[in-house]
Amino acid sequence: MSTEVSAARVAPKKGGGRRRLSLPVVLLIIAGALALVSLVRLISGANDVTSVGQVSGALELAVPIGLAGLGGLWAERAGVVNIGLEGMMILGTWFGAWAGFQWGPWVGVLFGIIGGALGGLLHAVITVTFGVNHIVSGVAINILAVGVTRYLSNFTFADAPGGSSKQSPRLEEIDKITVPGLSDWMQDLQQHHWFFVSDLAGIIGGLVTGLSLLTVVALLLIPVTWFVLWRTAFGLRLRSCGESPVAAETLGVNVYKYKYIAVTISGGLAGLGGAFLAIVATSIYQEGQTGGRGYIGLAAMIFGNWMPGGMALGAGLFGFTDSLKLRGGAENVHAMLLLLAILLVIVVFWQLYRKKYLTALISAAISALLFTWYFLTDQVPSQFVDAAPYVTTLLVLALSAQRLRMPKADGVPYRKGEGK
């Protein structure tokens, strides 16, 4: 008996000190977080924080970021760093809009994917076949994508009715679905502003109201990616190219082929994200519309430790901060200060429990600062909200970079025959 206990105690430590969370624990954590948000909402009176509109807005903003992040995930799992996501997204917005205004939104989506995939293919040719540094290639693709789309706009949108050399004509919308009874019922529940129940209703309501079909597709791509990469032989081979291409080649995997496939899919996903921006989010193509979302997608992926679930969480967080600000949320964001401060108090107790007094002290100081900020002011400057996702990413990286584990051969140029 006694040996069994000690073995069980030692086991998790061997695995890098990280225990796998079981489903009930995850659900408990989510419920706890929601209760906390609800509490903050009641104290601060910022009832819009979990409203139906807020949640569905956040979802719409999170999708392009999530798709870019998913693109980054595919490329980096095969060992190719993809800074060119931004450029591939730009290609996606342009191609999506160009095909969209001529042949309808779904053809637009298809062309958006193709446009992004072409960017991905170029990245694959430069990095895999020619072995150029991945970041250099990505930067070059970003420049080229801007040039190509601006140049092409002169020949296409400039002559179209309602278009100019900087933007496309208005695009047709993709159907939106609202689950009949459920949506109204949730909206109703949410209006009562009850503790917890209304917040839960707001979130469910946001997920079933005015949901674009493309959003559904994008959401489905997350579990699909997980399944393909972690539960199929194809995925295992692809990931082996990112962990150790030499070993993969020794086992007969055609490393170049898998890298090509991964990077092209990566571009296609980024292109889909771009097409979503143009067709669903704004119904129009505008120059510079992506606004660095490719980079945020990359950040979301790193935030999520190169895993689809974590990446989705990161994208959701970034989408939520964006939407808080867009919905006139000086008040909402102000409430978030309180949430952050309370979260830090929890961190303080956790660190004290783990006997890490210095971290606890720092957390306590920051928490105190946030509380004072909350009580002394009425709103947070919108510029700070803009910066929030980036600061969060930096903090997450700084606090947990040692725990994050990127694919081992990520970003390392590889030449065929090294394994022989």
- According to CB under 8 A, which one of 2, 3, 22, 402 is a site residue for another protein? 402
- CB nearer another protein, residue 140 or residue 177: 140
Q: Residues 135 to 154: which contact another protein by CB under 8 A? A: 135-137, 139-148, 150-151, 154
* Segment 188 to 247, residues that bind another protein, using CB under 8 A: none
Asked if 159 is part of the footprint of another protein (rule: CB under 8 A), the reply reads no
**Whole-angstrom distance, CA of residue 205 vs CA of residue 56:** 8
The residues facing 176 across adjacent strands are 212
Site for another protein in 118-137 (CB under 8 A): 122, 126, 130-133, 135-137
Encoding tokens for residue 346?
Answer: 């929890």
Q: Which of 214, 302, 315, 342 binds another protein (CB under 8 A)?
A: 302
| Residue of 349, 394, 405, 408 that binds another protein (CB under 8 A) | 394
| Of residues 158 and 346, the one with the C-beta less far from another protein | 158
Span of 42-50, 197-205, 319-327, 399-407 interacting with another protein by CB under 8 A = 399-407
- Taking CB under 8 A as the criterion, which residues in 47-86 touch another protein? 81, 83
Query: CB-wise, 233 or 401, nearer to another protein?
Result: 401
**Among candidates 63, 150, 57, 171, which has minimal Cα distance to 108?**
171
Nearer to another protein, 224 or 395 (CB): 395
What residues between 264 and 293 interact with another protein by CB under 8 A?
Answer: 292
Number of shown-chain residues binding another protein (CB under 8 A):
44
Nearest distance, CB of residue 207 and another protein, angstroms = 29
Q: Identify whether the C-beta of residue 67 lies closer than 8 Å to the C-beta of residue 270.
A: yes
Handedness of CA 268, 138, 241, 305 (dihedral sign): negative
Which residues are near another protein by CB under 8 A?
A: 81, 83, 122, 126, 130-133, 135-137, 139-148, 150-151, 154-155, 292, 295, 298-299, 302, 381, 383-384, 386-387, 390-391, 393-394, 397-399, 401-402
